């Protein structure tokens, strides 16, 4: 299980910053037939609903070398709530591990 907490609050002008987002329980699932699925949770620790969040992930091979990256979009995360995500990995590399790298809030 992997848990990333990006810490901070709202800026002085009340704009939500990426540091109030927690990405947790990130797993990589190998499906029969070869499909690889990235799963996890995004928690909104602010008091404002987030209509959209983009999470950037680094993808690693069996030797823990970064071989690729990918982004996913999570929509409608309620204030103080969490939402699960599930996304197929589209990479030609033999991906064996994944780590969140950045959270973008448009």
Alpha-carbon gap, residue 74 to 85, rounded angstroms: 7
In tens digits, what is the pLDDT along the chain, a chain of 106 residues?
A: 343 433 333 333 444 555 789 999 999 998 888 889 999 999 999 999 999 999 999 999 999 999 999 999 999 999 999 999 999 999 999 999 999 999 988 7
Alpha-carbon gap, residue 19 to 68, rounded angstroms: 24
Q: Provide the 3-class DSSP secondary structure of residue 70.
A: strand
The tokens describing 7, both together, are 């810490």
How far is CA 2 from each of CA 5, 34, 44, 76, rounded to the nearest angstrom? 10, 23, 17, 22
The tokens describing 2, both together, are 């992997």
For the chain, the residue count is 106
Q: What is the pTM of this model?
A: 0.80
Give me the domains of the chain, ranges plus CATH numbers: 3-104 (2.60.40.3230)
Q: How are beta strands 66-77 and 50-60 bridged, if at all? A: antiparallel
């Amino acid at each position: 299980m992997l848990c990333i907490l990006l810490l901070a609050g709202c800026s002085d002008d009340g704009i939500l910053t990426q540091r109030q987002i927690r990405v947790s329980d990130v797993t990589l699932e190998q499906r029969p037939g070869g499909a690889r699925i990235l799963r996890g949770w995004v928690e909104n620790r602010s008091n404002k609903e987030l209509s959209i969040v983009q999470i950037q992930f680094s993808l690693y091979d069996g030797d823990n070398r970064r071989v690729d990256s990918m982004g996913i979009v999570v929509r409608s995360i309620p204030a103080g709530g969490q939402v699960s995500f599930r996304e197929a990995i589209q990479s030609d590399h033999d991906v064996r591990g994944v780590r969140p790298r950045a959270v973008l809030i448009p």
